[in-house]
Amino acid sequence: MLEQNSGLGRGLDALLPDTEDDAVTEVAIAAIEPMPDQPRGRFPERELLELAHSIRQHGLLQPLVVTESQQGKHQLIAGERRWRAAKLAGLSNVPVVIRSADEQRYFELALIENLQRSDLSPIEEAKAYTRLMETGHETQEALAKRLGKSRSRIAQMVRLLNLSAEMQAALEQQEITTGHAQALLSQEGQMREQLFRAIKEKNLTVRQAESWGTTIRAPKIVTEKPSWLHQLELDLGLKIDRQGSNEKGALTIRYHSGEQLEQLVKRLAGKDGG
């Protein structure tokens, strides 16, 4: 399972205006531009409208963090969600703290700010880590130390980009969870595709998805079983051992948890809602 976000505070003092020493000034909202390749790509309309309503009532309480002016424009380092909501609220000027940083630092600060204040989606986070390592020419371990995160967390997230575009989209749209995604990564090729379909069509739990590889085999591997028996394994999501022949024998269904047993009994009793 993926660990929870932790240790995100390192570097935030250089990003967020939390002390009286920071000089807060006002600039025209039209003079601020979002940062290209901002780590967070999704801004749900409902959240923005709610924040815009709050800004109309109380003002923008947290200053934005921007770069020094270049050709009359400031670039956002942190606070794009607040900037978008302020535009919806009709503000002409907004409070800002001006920072000086290079392009790599901009991206790192934006990543930290988003992780701390409004979580990135798993795929957005994975892409952000990948870009930071590519542009900074550093290892997962070095990046983990700079961001105050564990190397295993970064490795787990980056591996999500090995999923197909369809699987990544399902994760982005919350049709599957990161737990399901990790289970998918434990499979390859046809088995991964079969598991993905089963997760969506049969609404498998993460535990069921994790045990899939030990309870079922791909057709190309299990060639000695009759097609009807293999199809039964696919339908139940469980491994079935056969003793005897078509005329006489026994079938043994293997399960690995009480939850699997309960689901099996419901299926056999015709109470699975199918």
* Catalytic machinery residues: 80
Cα 231 to chain centroid distance, Å, stands at 33
User: Which of 80, 96, 17 lies closest to 48 in space, CA to CA?
Assistant: 80
Q: 251 and 242 in contact (C-beta within 8 Å)?
A: yes
Burial class (CB in 10 A: 0-12, 13-18, 19+), 252: exposed
Q: List Cα–Cα distances, 259 to 87, 211, 265, 269, in angstroms.
A: 50, 12, 10, 15
User: Which of 88, 132, 110, 126 lies closest to 34 in space, CA to CA?
Assistant: 110
Q: List Cα–Cα distances, 268 to 76, 121, 209, in angstroms.
A: 58, 39, 20
